[in-house]
Structure 1
Amino acid sequence: MKISRLGIVALAVMILSCSSSTYRVFEKPIKFDEERKQLTLEYLASHYGLEQEEPVITPKMVVLHWTAISDLERSYDAMNPVRLPGSRKGIAEASALNVSAHYLIDRDGTIFRQLPDTVMARHVIGLNHCAIGVENVGSADAPLTKAQLKANEALVRHLKRKYPIDYVIGHFEYTAFEDHAL
């Protein structure tokens, strides 16, 4: 089953309007040491003008992604290092802080939390300071599974109950927020 761009938007609308469900989240934290904390604080200051003592956010949005990597462990391994690998030269100019996400969802729908919801993760241009990132293991050749769709739905419902989430977008939709108050 492939999800089109319009399909992600429809999924987001459905998720926000549906009733609650239960789900399980397993802890699989990425490295968040003093170096990552400092790089995150620097990112918040340089990109959003937010001078803070802790790299915290107030979530107002959930951004759904796919990893472009076909398996869980390699997806996790890509986000675990504190610094961007040399292969990410295109985004390295903005910061040495590695990309990451709050959640990683495996092909079978298992949800792993990599960071606390209110710690900034680098996953979406211009919106990291207010967005929870959800990475789905998959790619154009390995589209979202039904289990992943259900896991995304349950997770977004939970996050909507917990935080003042106003938007659920696919990563590609970040450009719609250029010149937006967020």
Structure 2
Amino acid sequence: MGTVRLNTLLTLVITVLLAACSKATYRVFDKSIHYDTERRALSLKYMEDHYGMVQEEPTIEPKMIVLHWTAIPDLERSFDAMNPVHLPGSRTGIAAASALNVSSHYLIDRDGTIFRQLPDTIMARHVIGLNHCAIGVENVGGGDAPLTNAQLKANERLVRHLKRKYDIQYVIGHYEYTAFEGHELWKEIDEGYRTVKTDPGQKFMKKIRKRLEDMGLKTPPSK
């Protein structure tokens, strides 16, 4: 083989390898929050008290994905907020509803790294009325730390992955949850248990819906 031909072949191989390495790789890293018999018991009680669902295990059948922001601009502090079993004393607005701490199934860092905190089919407390059918995705950031383009891409990849596994019909922002009152998926028994939310922002949801428009997802009900 001539020198020129060998150099051409090596250049081609290097180009292909570099192209492969430059493509984003979809990966999820496990970063589990504390889940013990007490969290399990509190989850079961939450499902019974708020949804009238009596089960042996706090499992869910995912029908939607709810996107959030943590309102904390740091990964570890965001994780630490959800890791304890019990709701902290500062969360007085929702403490009366349950002592179970808030949580989510996934936590996405500002660089787009995806962490799994709970199995997809175990209930997490992240959205009123819909926890029994919703996978929660928290994004590190908030109003003072706008979500990044890397997070936008990571949310898209995660949604597409979950849609392949489950019968996901909706992808909504946390602020849209009350649109489901009266819908067949809505199960909240306590008429007085509502909170006002803005996460993850209307601009972020507009962008993610544009990216997902080929998936045929349903839009939230009109109130």
Match of 1:177 in 2: 180
1:33 counterpart (22, 32, 36)? 36
TM-score (normalised: structure 2): 0.72
SS in 1 for 2:179: helix
**Post-superposition offset of 1:22:** 5.5
Give the CA RMSD over aligned residues: 0.9
Q: Distance in 1 between matches of 2:33 and 2:144?
A: 26
SS of the residue aligned with 2:147? coil
Query: 2:50 matched to 1:47?
Result: yes
Q: How many residue pairs were aligned? A: 162
Give 1:141 deviation, angstroms. Answer: 1.1
Is 1:138 paired with 2:159?
no
How far apart, CA to CA, are the structure 1 residues paired with 2:45 and 2:120? 19
CA contact (8 A) 1:101 1:114 kept: yes
Counterpart amino acid of 1:108?
D
* Deviation readout 1:110-164 (Å, 9 max, x if unpaired): 0000000000000001000000000000010111101000000000000011000
- Report whether the alignment pairs 1:62 with 2:71: no
Q: Secondary structure at the match of 1:82?
A: coil
- Separation (CA, whole Å) in 2 of partners of 1:180 and 1:132: 18
Give the partner amino acid of 2:109.
Answer: D
Say which one has the larger Rg: 2
**1:90-169 correspondence to structure 2 within 5 Å:** 90-169=93-172
Q: Distance in 1 between matches of 2:45 and 2:25?
A: 37
Question: Could you tell me which amino acid in structure 2 is paired with residue 52 of structure 1?
Answer: Q
- Report the 3-state secondary structure (helix = DSSP H, G, I; strand = E; otherwise coil) of the residue aligned with 2:91: helix
Q: Does 1:81 align with 2:120?
A: no
Within 2, Cα distance between the matches of 1:63 and 1:100? 12
Is contact 1:22-1:154 (8 Å) kept?
A: no
8 Å contact 1:101–1:123 — kept in the other structure? yes
* Partner Cα separation in structure 2 for residue 32 and residue 129 of structure 1: 17
2: CA distance between counterparts of 1:89 and 1:53? 29
The 4+ residue runs of structure 1 with deviation greater than 6 A are none
State the alpha-carbon separation in 2 of the partners of residues 43 and 123 from structure 1: 12
**5+ long unaligned stretches in structure 1:** 1-20
Alignment partners' CA distance in 2, 1:54 and 1:65: 25
Structure with more relative contact order (C-alpha pairs < 8 Å, separation 6 or more) = 1
Q: Which amino acid in 2 is paired with 1:124?
A: V
